[in-house]
Amino acid sequence: MYQNACGAAAASAGGCVEADRDCHSLISREPPVPVEHDYSGFDIVKATQYGAFSRVKELVDAGYNVNQRDSETVTLLHWAAINNRKEIMRFFIDKGSEVDAVGGELDATPLHWATRQGHLDAVVLLMNAGADPTLRDAEGCSCIHLAAQFGHTALVAYFVARGVSPDLQDRGGMTPLMWSCWKVCSLDPTRLLLTLGASTKLTDSTQGNTALHWAILARNTTAISTLILQAQASLDIPNHRGDTPLSMLQNYVGSVWIGAKVADRIREAMNTSRSRSVLNRFTKDKRVRWWCMVGTPFIAFYVAGLILGANLLILIKMFLLVCLYIVLHFAGQLFYDDRLMALLPLSIYLATKIWMYVTWIFYIMPHTPLLNSIIFLSSSGVLWYCFLKSWLGDPGIISATQELRFRTIIELAERGPGGFEPSSFCSACLVKRPLRSKHCSVCNRCVARFDHHCPWVANCIGAKNHKYFMGFLACLVLMCSQMLYGSTQFWEDQCRIFAKNDGFWEAIVKVSQCDPWVAWVAANAVLHLAWVFMLFICQLYQISCLGMTTNERMNRGRYNHFVSNGGKSPFSRSPLLNLADFLECSCFGIFKPQVKDWMTSYDLDKNIEHQPLLRHKDNFQYV
């Protein structure tokens, strides 16, 4: 007989139990029937436990009452549920077995027993037969609390989808989220409950703790990070003893179980609580800090150009540039968190491009034909269009309403043990995963035909903005090339520097002496031209020759449909046809592109295969 951990666990210290398993692995398989040829000696309880259906049927047909209880008031349906004997469960239910019968030391129902073991099939069968998941056992726990305690993520999702509140409290006021934070050290079901709308502000009736209090008491690093960084749980709610999460955590900053990002959040909260000055509120304003982060590279670019153009010794210039770097580095560490630092590549790109425009208008335009300036500025219009589409456009986000999430969960749960395979279900977004999609850990969302997350546009590149990203790269290559061409015309006209007449190093020296600012901008144009051109060629090769995304190329060994196809893409046809498919262009009828909606494509071609799409299930979120 099982002892319920519901009441006892709350009183014990260090209640967090390692359960680092994904939801699909929590679905227990039906135990194998022992290899015996004669079950005639089994009584009905043993036959039920071992799944000897023929013997069970024989005894029931002979007159055995399916609702008869044993000495511990346990029914046959209890034993069938705890052993996941689906066929026998159906037989008992058809024979009138009481689905909500209470039995055992804990006064639990068959649904309680099946939930403890994580038997999704048995739970679905009992729920469809009318079992009540909100009934409490002797220690006050309903089924969703048990599922949260034992880390059965699929069951938690199924109960909520079938109408159980994610904030349902047990006899002691504990919610499923509190139990998950206290007992389970893996990411789910904590993340799943938050996605389903579980409140982080509720407190239990015994100690007045929130879910964050329980996570701190358990030293549950994953739950603490999830609650503070993703759910923005309050640090200021006191329990019955007056302890807030902030007061509990501030003594542990620097401990191994407190992550660096959480520590930064704690320090920020401590500083805010200590200082309420106008300056402090101004520096903590998110919009102000965002604009400061975006503006820093503009200022740094300009200051670096001033240093290079100053009439100083080269060693002094190098020293000043090093000092500038040190100041920027420590300023970034002091004022900007990881979220803002993620904007740095985008800020650097914007700063470089804006200063290129300034340099062209005020330095190069007077020394180059008007036609060159018209081409430069007009092509920049296309560049800005593609950039904004890549930056602010929808990359192909797979979204769903709460109702659709519930329908998906119920559909996959009732499909059987394979319903929650990571190839078909994302436990972070709670959506059915289309083919070639991936959950982006940076954006925390699923993206159709995911290619990669690009820091230079601060967005994912997927089915809906990949074409614009390629246009952005092509236009950026063109802009940098035009910038270099315009710079050479400036040097020839202003400084009389001719590459054909002067040697390479002599020309470099003359360029740096002629106008250091133009040389500084041109050097940046060379740098950007090099890496952008390489990225463009790499992307073009993957699209046309391989028929793959960047994610698929890097992780092809993890996908069954690539492995079974000899490492080649099952989506590839030929270079020209692949380009036509990507651009969705027929080129005046020359090609016949295969236009496919990757937002709603869930299956491979019937001629390929029907295996699960992922080989390594332990890494399905970040392949």
Residues paired with residue 397 on neighbouring β-strands, in sequence order: 447
Of 172, 110, 184, the closest CA to residue 140 belongs to 172
DSSP characters over 389-409: HHHHS---B----HHHHHHHH
Distance of CA 22 to the CA centre of its chain: 14
Of 40, 113, 39, the closest CA to residue 75 belongs to 113
Cα(623)–Cα(617) distance, integer angstroms? 10
Of the residues 6, 181, 429, 454, only one is catalytic, namely 454
Phi, psi of 622 (to 5 degrees): -130, 30
Q: Which long-range contacts (CB under 8 A, 24 or more apart) does 11-15 make?
A: 13/217, 14/218, 14/219, 15/182, 15/183, 15/217, 15/218
Report yes or no: 436 and 569 within 8 Å, Cβ to Cβ.
no
Q: Give catalytic status of residue 386 as yes or no.
A: no
Alpha carbon separation from 547 to 535, 559, 578 (Å, rounded): 16, 15, 6
Q: Which residues contact 504 (CB under 8 A, 6 or more apart)?
A: none
Alpha carbon separation from 468 to 25, 536, 550 (Å, rounded): 39, 12, 16
Structure tokens at 219: 């030293």
Q: Would you mind telling me the total number of residues written for the chain in this entry? A: 623
Residues paired with residue 614 on neighbouring β-strands, in sequence order: 559
Sign of CA dihedral 360, 365, 367, 369: positive
CB count in 10 Å sphere of residue 268: 13
Of 320, 350, 353, 610, the closest CA to residue 479 belongs to 353
Cα(158)–Cα(58) distance, integer angstroms? 34
Helix 344-359 vs helix 516-541: angle between axes, to the nearest 10 degrees? Answer: 130
Active site residues per annotation: 454
